[in-house]
Amino acid sequence: MSRVSGKTDRDRDLARLGAAIRARRLARELSQEALAGLAEIERSHMGKIERGERNVTMLNVIRIARAIDCKPSELLADADL
């Protein structure tokens, strides 16, 4: 795997995870700001996570999953990860 395709894979993985978070958030009728507050994550960082622009840490994935009342493993499975 070349570095270029590696980067693309990573971007795609993070984008899929972000989309899964966004879908669960919307299903819960939460604003991004509300989710950021519940998860205790800074709002602009939350936006970047949802857009797949940040390599989110495990503890933040756990915080986000709990805030939207699902298991972190379910969130990853939603993203086909």
Nearer to a copy of itself, 4 or 29 (CB): 4
42 three-state secondary structure? coil
CB of 26 to a copy of itself, least distance (A): 21
Nearer to a copy of itself, 44 or 57 (CB): 57
Nearer to a copy of itself, 29 or 50 (CB): 50
Candidate residues 15, 30, 38, 62; the one interacting with a copy of itself per rule CB under 8 A: 62
- Closest by alpha carbon to 51, among 19, 3, 4? 19
Mutual angle of helices 32-39 and 58-67, in 10-degree steps: 120
R_g of the chain, CA atoms, integer Å:
12
Q: Give yes or no for residue 77 binding a copy of itself (CB under 8 A).
A: yes
For residue 11, give Cα distances in angstroms to 23, 26, 52, 78: 18, 22, 7, 16
Q: Under the rule (CB under 8 A), what is the footprint of a copy of itself?
A: 10, 13-14, 17, 55-59, 61-62, 65, 71-74, 76-77, 81
